[in-house]
Amino acid sequence: MARAVLAAQLYTVREFTQTPEGLAETLRKIREIGYRAVQVSAIGPIEPARLKEMLDREGLTLCITHTSYDRLKNELQAVIEEHQLWGCKHVALGSMPPKYREMGEEGFHQFAKEANEIGRALYEAGLTFSYHNHSFEFQRFGKRTGLDIIFEETDPRYVRAEIDTYWVQHGGGDPAAWIRKMRGRMPVVHLKDMVIIDGKQEMAEVGEGNLNWPAILAACREAGVEWYAVEQDRCLRDPFESLAISYNNLRSMGLE
């Protein structure tokens, strides 16, 4: 796409998206803030066609989803058909399942193998598959981190990156460096900031914390990121207000 676009990650407002009525109102509020796209994650049991109607009504693009590993393993054809219905070409996994984490290094190798197979099937259907990091993937195994293993042992065509700026920083990594490392392999980035409150790391609205946003956004441009998804797992104020603050700050940084 010619210009990158800001998107709201619905996980931020998940408590308001569990019913059709709640989701419809949430999408209306998000469009009023100014967002033109959303990422669907953690919504209630809402029919795919109903979701499409709501998105179309608000003029919102569904840029990517977070889809459960169970569905990716056991209902992949249905996942493909849903994304085709929505006109959404990007599928992502929010986290490596706990059973692989409990296996240590071997779990990362096993997960990478399975993720590559899922990604290949999605690629053949005209979709992309991305992995979203947290900080546990920064555990080191010799000279490599778990995140290194995932991306080095998968085909870049089949497994792409959805780098989360907060979680990279939380894991001791450099968000801008990781974004550059994923150049050409990263259609969507997750943007959230970090503050220190009472000696603890907390999530914050983009531009309200300590992350180096000029460096991060420059890296996103270099990496060819298409969608900038704003996510805040935990908000210290009303989550819609948090989404608005991040949106306005990112607009002031030159994004749309």
pLDDT tens across 231-253, in order?
Answer: 999 999 999 999 999 999 999 99
What are the tens digits of pLDDT across the range 94-114?
A: 999 999 999 999 999 999 999
> CB of 110 within 8 A of CB of 103?
yes
Domains of the chain: total: 1
The CATH number of residue 194's host domain is: 3.20.20.150
The pLDDT-based confidence of 2 (bands split at 50, 70, 90) is very low
Q: pTM for this one? A: 0.97
Helix axis angle, 48-58 to 20-33, nearest 10°: 30
pLDDT > 70? residue 1: no
Each residue of 129-180: pLDDT tens digit?
Answer: 999 999 999 999 999 999 999 999 999 999 999 999 999 999 999 999 999 9
Is residue 204 within 8 A of residue 165, CB to CB? The reply is no
pLDDT band for position 93 (cuts 50, 70, 90): very high
The pLDDT of residue 4: 78
Distance (Å, whole) CA 214 – CA 228: 14
Percent of the chain with pLDDT over 70: 99
State which residues form the domain around 51: 5-252
